């Protein structure tokens, strides 16, 4: 099998895929808590020995919470964020086995929110559900799917085509995945208007200028796509935030839905809806910063360079800070 794959793909891609599948096989063979324990050990090594992106994560935490944040608290936030990520990987690799009984046992709040969500979908024909990088954000798709809600999302394509296909198969145990750039606007709107739910991550920095909004004490550049999909399809936006409690339980907060305002121009409404979501995400992160993913390769507060003059929009011009 490996010989066949190496003939079709680069050797590096084949080896990465083989290692991923071996790890997935091991994590699925182990009992759930034992798999989490192995992930915990790997995360400890990455944090304390390899120090995987630790300096950058700590810098970001101090940038948001200020130099007055005790070093011990900053390390706690950074450690739990990385540990949670390792636990998320375990659950992604076990995604096909996460059935309705697992959801009921490990996300006890989930079931009580489903009737209201189903009512919103029935009333408006579809919905955009936005889930920031908190807790295990992928659980939204899997859990909704187990309750009969049809989900789809737009995902970036991984460099390794074998890994990309495997990740999409794992995600598709809970939703349909459209590759970014591959799904047309008409296709997305058709799905939204036919009772499907678009799952989207709101707290992602756009690399080109779009909507600069206050976020985590600075200014971040967010995309208007989430809001424009909702406005064009005339469906509500629902923000859901996950929090991991201990190792195996997840808490879920579902915020009041946001609705497009037909009396406003599209651009104005897009800014209003996006700003409302981001404001709520900001508050959720400040309440439980260890639940957020501080290790993203694209730091959300990195200034965006304009095409006109090549100068970055500074994170906080009032303070005179310069980009890092």
Does residue 176 contact residue 141 with C-beta atoms inside 8 Å?
A: no
Residue 272 placed within a domain:
yes
Question: CA 312 → CA 223, 279, 302, 320, distances in Å?
Answer: 17, 23, 9, 13
Phi, psi of 75 (to 5 degrees): -65, -35
Task: Judge whether 72 lies within some domain.
Answer: yes
Q: How many domains does the chain divide into? A: 1
Does residue 312 lie in a domain region?
Answer: no
Give the CA-trace dihedral at 47, 92, 190, 265, to 10 degrees: -20
pLDDT in the model for residue 154: 78
pLDDT value, residue 172: 58
pLDDT value, residue 313: 45
- 87 token code pair: 């636990």
The pLDDT assigned to 201 comes to 93
Q: What angle do CA 29, 33, 34 make, to 5 degrees?
A: 55
Domain presence at residue 106:
yes
Distance separating alpha carbons of residues 272 and 140, to the nearest angstrom: 24
* DSSP state letters, 96-111: GG--HHHHHHH-TTHH
Residues of the chain with pLDDT under 50: 1-7, 309-324
Name the region of 21 (left: φ>0; alpha: ψ -120 to 50; beta: rest). alpha
What is the separation of C-alpha 301 from the centre of its chain, rounded to a whole number of angstroms?
A: 16
CA angle 138, 207, 179 (to 5 degrees): 45
Is there a domain that residue 300 lies in? yes
Query: What's the pLDDT score for residue 168?
Result: 66
pLDDT for 174 equals 58
For residue 321, being part of any structural domain is answered with: no
Q: How far apart are CA 164 and CA 132, in angstroms?
A: 21
Query: How would DSSP label each residue in 233-274?
Result: HT--EEEEEEEEETTTEEEEEEPPPB---TTS-HHHHHHHHH
Nearest in space to 210 (alpha carbons), one of 197, 226, 198: 226
DSSP code at position 314: P
Q: Is residue 179 part of a domain?
A: yes
71: in domain: yes
Domain that holds residue 144: 2-304
- pTM, whole model, 2 decimals? 0.85
213 beta partners? 220
What is the pLDDT at residue 256? 96
Alpha helices by DSSP H, 94-212: 100-106, 110-124, 139-146, 161-171, 185-192
What is the reported pLDDT for 324? 28
């Amino acid at each position: 099998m490996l010989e066949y794959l190496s003939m079709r793909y680069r050797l590096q891609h084949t080896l990465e895929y083989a290692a991923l599948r071996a790890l997935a096989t091991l994590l699925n063979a182990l009992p759930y808590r034992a798999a989490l324990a192995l992930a915990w050990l790997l995360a400890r090594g990455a944090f304390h020995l390899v120090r995987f992106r630790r300096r950058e994560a700590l810098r970001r935490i101090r940038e948001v919470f200020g130099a007055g944040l005790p070093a011990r608290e900053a390390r706690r936030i950074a450690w739990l964020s990385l540990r949670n990520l390792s636990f998320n990987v375990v659950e992604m690799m076990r995604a096909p086995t996460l059935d309705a009984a697992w959801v009921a046992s490990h996300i006890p709040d989930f079931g009580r929110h489903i009737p209201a969500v189903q009512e919103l979908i029935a009333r408006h024909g579809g919905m955009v559900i936005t889930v920031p990088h908190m807790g295990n954000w992928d659980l939204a798709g899997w859990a909704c799917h187990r309750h009969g809600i049809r989900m789809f999302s737009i995902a970036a394509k991984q460099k390794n085509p074998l890994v990309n296909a495997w990740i999409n198969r794992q995600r598709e145990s809970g939703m349909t995945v459209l590759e970014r750039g591959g799904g047309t606007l008409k296709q997305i709107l058709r799905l939204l208007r036919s009772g499907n739910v678009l799952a989207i991550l709101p707290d992602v920095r756009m690399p080109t200028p779009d909507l600069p909004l206050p976020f985590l004490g600075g200014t971040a550049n967010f995309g208007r796509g989430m809001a424009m999909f909702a406005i064009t399809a005339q469906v509500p936006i629902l923000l859901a935030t996950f929090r991991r409690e201990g190792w195996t339980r997840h808490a879920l907060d579902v915020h009041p839905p946001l609705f497009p305002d037909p009396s406003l121009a599209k651009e104005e409404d897009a800014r209003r809806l996006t700003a409302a979501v981001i404001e709520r995400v900001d508050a959720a992160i400040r309440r439980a910063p260890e639940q957020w993913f501080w290790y993203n390769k694209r730091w959300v507060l990195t200034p965006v360079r304009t095409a006109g003059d090549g100068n970055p929009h500074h994170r906080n011009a009032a303070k005179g800070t310069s980009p890092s």
